[in-house]
Each structure stands twice: as C-alpha cells, then as structure tokens.
Structure 1
Amino acid sequence: MKMKKIFVTLLILLFVLVLVLVVRTVTYKFGKVEMNVSDKELVNTAPSEQAIRHFVGGIRIPTISNEFYNETNFKPFDEFMKYLADSYPEVYRVMDVDTINKYGLVFHWKGKKSKLNPILFLSHYDVVPVAGYDPSAMTPSDTIFQLNDKPLPSIQAYAEKWDYPPFSGAVANGRIYGRGTLDMKCMLFSLMEGARNLINEGFQPERDIWFAFGHDEEVSGRQGALKIANYFKEKGLHFDAVYDEGGIIAAPGSAMEAIQEPLALVGVGEKGFLTLRFTVRGIGGHSSMPPAKSSLIYAAEIIEKLNSNQFPAQIISPIAKFFDNVGGYMGFLSRMAIANQWLLEPLLLNTMEKSPASNALVRTTTAVTMAKGSDAPNVLASEAEVTVNFRILPGDSVAGVMEHVQKICEGYDVSIDVISQREPSGISPENVRGFQIIKEELAEIYPAAIVTSYITIGGTDSYKYQIVSDDIYRFLPICLNQYEQRTIHNENEYISLENFGKIQWYFREVMRNY
C-alpha cells in the first residue's frame, strides 16, 4: 500500500512538472518579427551602373596583404588609394581625409551638431591571396561586364574553380566576381557610394560621421586599425556607435534548418583567441630501436587529452537573447528547452554541440591545427611540436585557457610558447540607438528578417576600437546561402548585384537617419 502511494505521488509530481514545462513554453515571450508591408511599397535598392563600375575597378586592384608586413607589395595599395580619390571627388571635397601609417584611410564628415558623439564606419581594403594565381598576369580581356542580360563573351574558367578570374571584377549572371567582393570591399564601396549620393543631395549629417579603412585586417590589423584607433583616442573621440563586418543575413534554412526566414546575425561581441606551440620532449634515435613512448607519442597523448577535455558549454547573454529571438520559429520541443532552461539547459546545450557552427557559440573551442615530428621516416625525433588554436568565448580568458592547458600537460616534459593571443571582446548593448537603427533600416529591405544578437566567431578590426566606443556592431546586410558563405576566403568569391545594391541603400540610410 505504501509503495502504491509513493507511485501515485510520483505520477502526480511528474504530471505537475510536465504541466509547468508546457505552461512556461506556451506563455514564454519569444521575439517576433512584426511585418506590415501591405500598405508600403518596398524601396528600390538596385545599384546604378556607375556604382557597379566603381566597385569593379576596385576589385581589379589586387591589394593582397602579407603576414610579413615588410614583404607586402604596396604598389596596388598606392593604386587603390588614387583610384578612390579619382572615383569619389565629391567625398574628398566635402570630407577631411587623412592617412595613418601611410595606407590607413580616415574620412571625417562634419555634422551640424559637434556636441553630439560621432559615429564610425569601418572597412578594410586588403584581401587574402588566391593560391596559384598571379594578378599581374591579368589582361584587359579578362574583364567582363554584363548588364541587362547582354550576351557574354566566351572565357575560360580559372583552374575550373572560379567562374571568372579572381581579380577580373567580372559582372555576369547577376553577380560581381572577384576576391574582395564579399570580404570586404563591398562595404567600403557601399559607404563611399552612400556618402557620394547624400552629398549630391545636399545632405549634411546631424552628428559627425567618420570612416576608417584599414589595409592589413587579414593579417592582424596592427599596422592599420590599431594605429587608427590610437589616433582617434589621442584626439579624444568617443563614438556613439561603431559599425564593422562580422555578421550577415543567413538565408532561410542556412543557419538553422528550422528557421525558414532570413536570420540577421548582429555581432555584439567577438571571441578572443590563443595560439600555443607545444614542444614535447622524449627519447630520439633510430626507428629500428623505438622506446615504449617517443616524443610524438607523448604529443599524441596531449592532443587526445586536449580534445577529450573540452571547455564546458555555457549560454552567455547574447546567445540567450539569440534563443529568445529565434525560439518562436522552432519546434515545440526546442521552444520548451529554451523556455525551461532552469531544467532543460543541458538538453539545449547538447543540441548546440552537435554542429560545429553552433558549438562554437557556446564554448571556448580547441583546434589542433599543426603537428611535426622528425624530417625522415626512419628517425625518432627527440622533440615533437604541436600547434593548437583556442577561440575564447566572452566570459572566459587567456589566463583561464593557459591554466587549463598547464593542468593537462602535468607529468610531461613539455614547454609551451604563445604564438598569438587576444582576450574576448566586451558585449555591446542592444537597448541603444546604435542597435535599434539596424532593425529600423533592415525592416525596409528585409521585412521578414529576424534580427538577433550574436557572437562573431572570427576576429575583426572592430575589437581594436573598444578604446573609443562601448557600442560596436558587427554586421553586413548581405543575405548569403551556405554556398556563398563558403566562398569567403575561398574559390569563386562573388556578390550578387541585389546584395550589393541593398548594402549601399542600407549604409546610406543609416548615415541619413542615425
């Protein structure tokens, strides 16, 4: 009889628990996009032929940065700077233009009210190289320009990986092809076009507007953005908002299969990083007389321990808001997990851990990227090297990662050298004008988009501007599917004419309406 009472009590408790979970799920206030476009005509964002030609000309200049700064070929950078001045005389006439460290470009557009804090737009004009391609070998015949469905001249695809040569700036199939079309000359030229159009309208902003264009973002930004940020600090500037790359509009289903609406991911923070080289020592010699464990075996053990002992998954504030914003578009079980994190957070984290992209949003990640033993097949190296890259979630720290690593390496004869490091960024607020205007302008061109905070996984120049602003937003209003996202730093990089037009419209209106 006693057991029966216990069983009934447990059933009642289970029923109450399920009821609580369901009620909390049904009543949870998920974000919802309010679409009201029935009485409003969508704005025309088609780019002009002049804007396209300006952009194409910039893509044709191969401003390739070099990890070894002094070995950079700066001739294209000189050409690019002259090209900008020739293409946008109105901007150079109205704005004060300065150069920092010779190639960092700074533009200052004075507003009507100097007491208002200014806003800052960032971009960079260096690009990553294209393997095996010599941009100096490009001939004028490589350039293709097709508008209004005109027939295309025939051209041989570059190594069957690019539809058109990487620095041709070819315009075809409703796209502009070339290295830098997505990363990041599209933002730079959109800002210049937007400013030119506003100037031609006779517009003057209420507050000061600044542009800062770095020239070595792809190789750390130490000679460009870092020096520009220090220049701003020395001038005593504090920006109301800073805008940079680092988030996109993920096409329906491309970020999360359940989300069949455009997902605008606004980076309100970014992960830090720590790259370490482990030098593991053991017994070397001839491979015919191997010890029980060589240096490479010890290194493999350390790799296995690093891989098995991942940092704990956690939901930090921007990702919690991300769940709130997207949860209403997900299935009932997912909504239940989000609405009842007090109980179901482990289930939610387990779901995030299944995909590399979502896993990176909830933990400091560990990536073993390089390993080296001996230089000969019959030699046991006395030392083995392993390189590991950690991407640090805001809330964790470089010191915390080092402590984790040192604990794993206890008992091994190993030295650890820091190759590069940077703490995670701060988290920018959402209840401010700098974030709200993103939502306002996006509603005009992507009325169905879900706008949500997000953590930028990669590094951007914007981190360096924390010394002059607390409100930094990493976002480019460009809608990309999974294939297009993979072309960044990869083969066949291109931007659609539709995307290029919308970026221009967006930045022009942010400048107009901030």
Structure 2
Amino acid sequence: MVLLSILIVLLFPVTIATVRTLILQNTDKKRIVGTRIEENKEAITKLQAAITFKTVSNLDTNLVDWNEFERFHEYLKQAFPLATQTLQIPSDSPHNLIYCLPGTNVEAEPALLTAHQDVVSAQPSQWKHDPFKGDEAEGFIWGRGSFDCKLQLIAILQAFEEMVSSGIKPQRTWYAAFGCDEEVNGGEAGATLIARQFERMGLTFSLIMDEGGAVAERYIGGINRPIAVVGVAEKGYLDAELSCCQEAGHSSTPTFPTALGKISEALVKIERTKHKATFTQPVIKMLENIGKEAPFPFAFLFLNLWLTKPILKATFAKNPTLNAIIRTTSVPTVIQASDKNNVIALQATAVVNSRLLSSDDEKSTVKWIQDTVKDKNITVKVMRYDKPSKESPVEGKAYEAVKVSIKKCFPDAIVSSYLMLGATDARKYQNLAKYIYRFTPAQMDKSEISRMHGPDERMSKENISAAVSFFKVLMKNW
C-alpha cells in the first residue's frame, strides 16, 4: 500500500504534465500558405558589389576610412535609383542613411527597418575567397558583410526599390535606417545619432525590425525542423578590469606570488565558476513556443518547466549557446603584464567580459566577480556597462505580423521568441517603440552562423532572395 501511494505521488505530476502537453500542442495550429520565392538576381548582384566596399568601423573614428563609406553611398545611389532619389531623407550625419517609404494611411503609426553599413575587419590570408571581392561559388556569395549585415541592408533597399517600381504602397509609412558603427557597439556616430534625429522629428514606431536571430537548422539537437528565432530582448554588457600590484623585479631572482600569477589564478576561478541558472521570461516564452510544435520528449520538457527545470538546467549547461540563455556569463578576454621577457611586472591587469541576464545588473555582477576571486589584493573596476534591454511583447498584432511573415517565407520553420546574446543597434531605439524585434531572414545551420565575424563568411543565393521577399511580405502584412 505504501509503495502504491509513492507510485501515485510520483506518477501524478507526470500525468498532469503529459495531459498539459497534449492540450498545448493542439493549440495555435493555423495553416499559413508560403510565398513563392524566385531567385532575385538583382539583389544577389547588388550584395556582391556591396561587399567590395571596405566599410570597416573602429571605436576610434579617426581610424575609419570614411571615404570608403562615401563610395558605398555613391554605389547605393546607382544600384537603387528610385529608393535613393525619391525616398532618401537628410541625415544629421553624412555617414548614416535614412529612407522613408510613404504609406497610404497617414494616421497609421510608421514602422522602422534597420541594418548597419559597417563590418568587422578580415584577414585575406585566412579566407578561401577574398573577403572584399564578393565572389560567387558553391551557390554562395562570399565576403565580409554577406551575413552581417549587408544582406539585411541590401534586402531592405531592394524591397523598397521593387515596391516603388511596381507602384505598390504599404498601408503605413516605413522608414529604413542604416548606421555606421554597430560593430564597435557603443559608438556614438551611428544609430545613436539616428535615434536622436527621430526623437527630434517627433517620430515613434509601431514596430522596429533589426538584425538578429536567423532561421536556425538543428538549433536544438533532436528537433529536425528549423527554428526561426526572433530576438525580443538583449543581454546586458559589462567590461570589468581586474588589477593586481605585487613586488616587481628581475626574472632571475623572482619573488612570489607575482602580480601576473595572482591575476591568472583569479581568471581560472572565473572560468571554473558559473553564474546561477535563471529562466527569464524571454527564455520561458521561447521554450513554450518551441514546445508547442516540437515532438516528444521536447514538447514535454519545454511545456512543463515547473517540473523539468532541473533537467533542462543540467542539459543546457553542456551547450555553450543554450547555457548562455539561462545564465549571466563572464569570461576573461584580455591580460597584460610585463612587456619584457625578463622583467616581473609591478602590475598585471585583465579584462573580464560579462553578458548579463535581466535578473542581473552592474552591482550584482561586480559582486559575483569579487566573491569568485576572493582576493583582497585584486581590485575590480567597471570599464563599460550597458544594462539589459527592455523586453518586447510576444503578444499582439505587431509580433503576429512578424511571425506570419516568417512563416510565409520559411514555411517549415517553428517561429519562436528568443533572448539575444549579443548587442545590436536595436537597443539605441528603445525609447521609440514598444515592439522591437531582431531577426535576420536567412536559413542556415550552426556552421554557417559561426562564419559571422570569422573567416569565409558567406550567404546562399536562396537566402538573399528570401530576405527580399520577407521584407516585402512584412511591409504588406503590417
């Protein structure tokens, strides 16, 4: 009798969870007819050309080749004559670009599409194809910016150009804004200035769409369908400098411990210690969205967090991407000490970069570093801090329009909200809209996504064509 009672107690929550899973999986089963996407040769050719402009940004604006940006702007005028001649509006900065496609309903609140012109640097010797040539090979366009973020920029302008050419007007007015310094995150010349200009113009937006999550294949092992992840929030950012002073001297007669040794010990402790796992609202909603369309056992695990959190915490901890969505992360990135091989440094410093969940802030992250290091000889100073972004709703007509537009262009995908691990220009526009989403309309696997910022960045011709279609569908849907 006791064993039976124990069995009932154990099986009852599992039974409840199973029934709940079956009920939730039978909701939200709307059938959406996909849009026929044909190869957009114009967009492909224009992206190839856009890659050839070395629009590399730098936090020190004196080191930026602004002539290259000007050349890029001149090319855009030639490639998109209708958009640039009839839609472009003056920008407060000559390095930024703003366009306005008027809608038929002047009462409707406008919407904004954003991307950035700048790219990170590239070392040609590490590439299979020249990073600034825009080669076409193996069904891909190769080059720096083919993914991040000239795909988005060219696709938006091509969508504008085609709509103007065909005489199609959207219901509401659509703006497009392309900053010049997103890659140096924190720069003041790009989206920061554009946001101030929009504020001065008295503009607010019903929807803002920036770069972000893609349509990821095999995003979660065991789920075969691609998952289109739409960023609804971004983690915070904190750079902390750890510093230690000890006795200096010559390496032939060393005194221990050294400043470098103590800093090294501190960094090892940070690497070996994890922040507390927390399921924030964006992650809970993401798992629920995926669970509704995922097969067992994933549906059971994702739709019953009240029961399965311990299992998921342990599983996610083994995957770098999934681990990063459930906890603040801290990692050493820079270390400095002596500049000579035979000199023991008086001082050693290191930089620890942290990406913060919304449950953390500057104070709690610094305390975590101090508590982890446990060394009074090491000081911690915050170099830079950006708090986590606001969270955009996943209920309402704006998100539904985004979801439907994705489904039309990527009909096999599960569409889900997502917590962005990196930072985008979207955070600069937070005061201008309630509904801000981050999505790059391209389907790829992890190996393709990992090329971003690395060697051999590339984009398939199918994705280039799909991206143009996505923005046209979105402008018609919203």
Q: TM-score range by the shorter chain?
A: over 0.9
Instruction: Tell me which of 479, 496, 503 is aligned to 2:443.
Output: 479
Instruction: Tell me which of 425, 434, 444 is aligned to 1:470.
Output: 434
Query: What is the aligned partner in structure 1 of residue 114 from structure 2?
Result: 122
CA distance in 2, matches of 1:292, 1:192: 61
Give the aligned residue type for 1:257: G
Instruction: Tell me which of 166, 178, 181 is aligned to 1:213.
Output: 178
Describe the SS at the equivalent of 1:475: strand
**After superposition, where does 1:129-148 map in structure 2 within 5 Å?**
129-131=121-123, 133=124
Contact 1:258 1:330 in 2 (8 A): no
CA distance in 1, matches of 2:340, 2:44: 54
Instruction: Tell me which of 184, 189, 193 is aligned to 1:227.
Output: 193
Query: What is the aligned partner in structure 2 of residue 279 from structure 1?
Result: 243
**After superposition, where does 1:236-315 map in structure 2 within 5 Å?**
236-251=202-217, 253=218, 255-315=219-279
Give the aligned residue type for 2:309: E
CA distance in 1, matches of 2:375, 2:453: 40
Describe the SS at the equivalent of 1:351: helix
Give the aligned residue type for 1:94: T
Query: What is the aligned partner in structure 1 of residue 421 from structure 2?
Result: 457
Extract unaligned runs of 5+ from structure 1: 1-7, 134-158
Contact 1:176 1:494 in 2 (8 A): yes
Could you report, residue by residue, the CA deviation over 1:436-491 in whole angstroms, capped at 9, with x for unpaired residues? 11221222222221000101111101110001112110001100112211111111
TM-score by length of 2: 0.93
CA distance in 1, matches of 2:392, 2:201: 23
Task: Report the CA distance between 1:207 and its aligned residue.
Answer: 1.6
Between 167-176 and 229-238, report the one with greater CA deviation.
Answer: 167-176
Task: Report the CA distance between 1:373 and its aligned residue.
Answer: 3.0
Name the CA shift for 1:166/1:309 in 2 (closer, same or farther; >3 Å). closer
Contact 1:100 1:224 in 2 (8 A): no
Give the aligned residue type for 1:44: R
Instruction: Tell me which of 121, 124, 132 is aligned to 1:167.
Output: 132
Describe the SS at the equivalent of 1:248: strand
CA distance in 2, matches of 1:507, 1:329: 25
Could you report, residue by residue, the CA deviation over 1:280-301 in whole angstroms, capped at 9, with x for unpaired residues? 1122223344344222232133
Give the aligned residue type for 2:75: Y
Describe the SS at the equivalent of 2:196: helix
Query: What is the aligned partner in structure 2 of residue 148 from structure 1?
Result: none
- Aligned residues, how many? 475
Name the CA shift for 1:16/1:470 in 2 (closer, same or farther; >3 Å). same
Alignment of 1:495 with 2:459, yes or no, is: yes
Give the aligned residue type for 1:18: L
Task: Report the CA distance between 1:96 and its aligned residue.
Answer: 4.2
Describe the SS at the equivalent of 2:90: strand
Task: Report the CA distance between 1:329 and its aligned residue.
Answer: 5.8
Instruction: Tell me which of 121, 146, 164 is aligned to 1:181.
Output: 146
**After superposition, where does 1:317-466 map in structure 2 within 5 Å?**
317-328=281-292, 332=296, 334-408=298-372, 411-466=375-430
Give the aligned residue type for 1:259: I
Task: Report the CA distance between 1:374 and its aligned residue.
Answer: 2.4
Could you report, residue by residue, the CA deviation over 1:124-174 in whole angstroms, capped at 9, with x for unpaired residues? 11111112x4xxxxxxxxxxxxxxxxxxxxxxxxx4x53432111122332
Contact 1:111 1:206 in 2 (8 A): yes
Task: Report the CA distance between 1:393 and its aligned residue.
Answer: 1.1
Query: What is the aligned partner in structure 2 of residue 60 from structure 1?
Result: 52
Describe the SS at the equivalent of 1:232: helix
CA distance in 1, matches of 2:122, 2:2: 68
TM-score by length of 1: 0.87
Contact 1:258 1:329 in 2 (8 A): no
Identity %: 31
Task: Report the CA distance between 1:86 and its aligned residue.
Answer: 1.7
Give the aligned residue type for 1:203: I
Query: What is the aligned partner in structure 1 of residue 14 from structure 2?
Result: 21
Task: Report the CA distance between 1:47 and its aligned residue.
Answer: 3.3
Q: CA RMSD in A?
A: 2.1
Task: Report the CA distance between 1:256 and its aligned residue.
Answer: 1.0
Extract unaligned runs of 5+ from structure 2: none
Describe the SS at the equivalent of 1:127: coil
Task: Report the CA distance between 1:230 and its aligned residue.
Answer: 1.0
Alignment of 1:72 with 2:64, yes or no, is: yes
Between 460-469 and 212-221, report the one with greater CA deviation.
Answer: 212-221
Name the CA shift for 1:259/1:334 in 2 (closer, same or farther; >3 Å). closer
CA distance in 2, matches of 1:339, 1:57: 46
CA distance in 1, matches of 2:314, 2:197: 45
Query: What is the aligned partner in structure 2 of residue 145 from structure 1?
Result: none
Describe the SS at the equivalent of 1:371: strand
CA distance in 2, matches of 1:47, 1:331: 33
Task: Report the CA distance between 1:328 and its aligned residue.
Answer: 4.9
Give the aligned residue type for 2:406: L
Describe the SS at the equivalent of 1:197: helix
- Tell which structure's C-alpha radius of gyration is larger: 1
Give the aligned residue type for 1:127: V
Contact 1:267 1:455 in 2 (8 A): yes
Contact 1:35 1:448 in 2 (8 A): no
Name the CA shift for 1:340/1:498 in 2 (closer, same or farther; >3 Å). closer
Give the aligned residue type for 1:166: P
Task: Report the CA distance between 1:382 and its aligned residue.
Answer: 2.0
